[in-house]
Amino acid sequence: SQQGEEDPQALSIQEGENATMNCSYKTSINNLQWYRQNSGRGLVHLILIRSNEREKHSGRLRVTLDTSKKSSSLLITASRAADTASYFCATGRGGSYIPTFGRGTSLIVHP
User: Minimum Å distance from CB 14 to other proteins?
Assistant: 27
Nearer to other proteins, 15 or 48 (CB): 48
| CB-side neighbour CA atoms (13 Å) of 22 | 8
Stretch that binds other proteins, among 19-27, 52-60, 76-84, 98-106 (CB under 8 A): 98-106
Stretch that binds other proteins, among 7-15, 18-26, 28-36, 57-65 (CB under 8 A): 28-36
Neighbours of 23 (CB within 10 A): 27
Neighbours of 24 (CB within 10 A): 17
Kindly calculate the radius of gyration of the chain based on its CA atoms and give it in whole angstroms: 13
Footprint on this chain of other proteins (rule: CB under 8 A): 2, 31, 33, 35, 40-45, 48, 88, 92, 96-104
